Chains A and B, each alone.
Chain A
Amino acid sequence: MAARASAATILAATEEPEGIDLFLPAGYDLLWSAVVLVIIAVAFYRYVLPPMNKVLDERAAQIEGGIKKAEEAQAQADKALEEQERLLVEARTEAAQVREEARAEGSAIIKDLKAKANEEAARITETAHRQIEAERQAAAVSLRSEVGALATDLASKIVGESLEDSARQSRVVDRFLDELEASEGAAASNGAVPAGSSKEA
């Protein structure tokens, strides 16, 4: 191309910078570049990166703290659950134990009361027996005297003779009584005997 050859001659004539000039620094270029770079570097080192890093660290710390807190809460919850279960088991055991004890105590009380009642019943029965015996004896004694008087009275009326003589009277009564007692065995089979015998007397 013709343009290329002519370009070379024109390039030599004008003040056109050559390719190499691109890589040869001028003083003013270096000066201002240095000024600009120092400003940027100072700004980044002092005003940009430290606050950003602080924020990043804070964030990391918060995230870590959050995770830790959650873990702690989880552990606490686990512990609480375990404690609760333990308490529940304890309470159940205790309840069972109390029930068992109550049952044992109940049966002991019942046994005790039963024994006491039996004893009481026996005592009452015996007392009654004794009382009956005493009453029977008293009745026999009073009967003996009353029946004696009555019989004498009756006999005197029947016989019409005075039995004032005490020896005779006593003899008659005793005899009567002996007869009466002797006839008692027969009286069990025949109720009419005493009346008959008294009539005989």
Chain B
Amino acid sequence: MLEANTVATLAYIILFAPFAAAALITVATLRSKALSAFLSVGSVILGGVLSIILLADQISRGAGAEPVVHQFTWALSRGMAFHIGVQVDFISVLMSTVVGVVGSCIFVYALGYMHGDEGWSRFFAKFAFFAFSMLGITFSTNFLQIFIFWELVGVSSYLLIGYFYQKPSAAEAGKKAFMTNRIGDFGMTIGILLLFFAVRDVFGEIDSLSFETLKGIFTNDGAREQLFAAMGWKAALGAFLIFVGAMGKSAQFPLHVWLPDAMEGPTPVSALMHAATMVAAGVYMIVRTYWLFAWAHDALVAVAYIGGFTALLAASIAIVQNDIKKILAYSTLSQLGYMVMACGLVGAGAGMFHLATHAFFKALLFLGAGSVIHACHSNDIWDMGGLGKKMKQTTWTFWAGTLALAGIFPLAGFWSKDEILAVSHHATALYIVGVGVAFMTAFYMGRACFTVFHGTYRGHGHPHESPRVMWIPLAVLAVVSIFGGFVGAPSSLNPFGEHGLQSFLLVAYLKDGVVHWPVGHGHVEAGLHLDVATVGTLMALGGLLLAWLFYGKGVLSAERVKQRLKPLHTLLVNKYYIDDFYLWLVRRVQQGFAIAANWLEQKIIIGVLVNGIAAGTKDAAARLRKTASGQIHSYVTIVLAGVTILVFWFVIFMVSE
């Protein structure tokens, strides 16, 4: 077990190493490609190694250990103090390990993928900055700090999605991501303020933004009742608004539209964004502030249903996509919906577990897709095919990722998906959604794999295996995706103890680990749930089998099904017209408001208030200046008149009294 000071110092190093790298590259080493790459990749690998040390330390501390909090006072204002620092506990260390390890693989891969790119140094500076922003969220001690880094993630994602800024679609996608996120962040701001002022009104001037302080209040029955009595319906509203922030970052319906477009960025960016950073931030924040959601039941129900709906919506769209990165993007959306649904069903531990395993296999799939795109110079899966023979490393790793995502025993996805299905077992509707999504996931991933790696090659040119610097990270991620799930296995060999990782996560957000869910109650034993696992595995195998029949064996014709279900297919291809609806909203409704506001601004504010006052003053001045004739006599006469009036006034009003 490490000293508290050592733990805090390590956390600061993990946090600031990528920042230092980004700053150094920007100010000093832009010219030297090798040095820039070394700084950027080195800083993240350092973070990964130190995170693993911290994780080992957390395991030695045991489940439910007190968090190590170290913070500085950043700003003092009338009765309010704002702090900034690091909070090291199991959740934050798990997250930083995921960011560090997955990030390291992606950074190394980027060395190969971005080879020969003009903006090389700029790319690595932004990339490191992205990692810094995400680690800032991870180690935040309070709502203000998490919000600042939340925005930094938004900014750096904007920079990276729009990395190919000469391309209009990339610039548009960057803007779309940023603005959609801003909508979520606006909700989050209001939610934080609601909570902040309510806590201050009830408990006086305490550090009412700090997670630990708030956790103390929410886990104490008396204090919580007092706060809820004072807040009334605003408590659930505040929790929901904070969740709206998570909806933006974790791309939940209806703020999910930015994520598929974010594919415009370079593939390593997509991998980082969809696996370890950005989209993970929303789920992470829900888990981080779970003491709040656990008691705001109404908000929790909304969270569960929004998550479930997003999972279903995205999985169905993924089935008809032809762009390999788009398939993975919708798959990410759907898996995020899964995690959010688990959080809403009082399974924050399951959600966090799935977040961690998903990070590994989704990063693997994206990097694999990048490798394929690199070889075929196309994103369309119908331009590929038969790559299994030409790209052996990419193929087996991609299959490993697919099976992990589908949830085949004993790969990583199996364990975490099992947890999610287990927590949703008591809410029948969402359980059916979960099982259905599991089936669809297996189907669309099977479709992609059979089409890309099997059959005959349909594209042009001669695809070949990617260089070693690209497939070694794939292999590392594949190994973790295959074996990583065992941390959730109930076994005495498990480094996390007999009840697996789950037992750490349960106690990490609530001391007693039991939270009542309105529909039943959500305390689920960690480990293997045989009934759920059987259903989940059957669904996954069924999905893969169906995909094989369609795209591998060719017994069934996808074309015929498409003809039969023409309206449904059109609906799916058009992504349920959600983007079109938003576009209509912006073009018609928002544009109408904009025109009205513009008129108000031009005519009333500028025309009357600004220019009107200026013109009036100028006119009055023109009249007044005529009295300043420069003639002594006129001045003297005016003074004389003034004095005379004063004297009369004095005589009449003062003397007579």
Q: Answer yes or no: are A and B bound together in one complex.
A: no
Q: Which residues of B are at the interface with A, using a C-beta cutoff of 8 A?
A: none
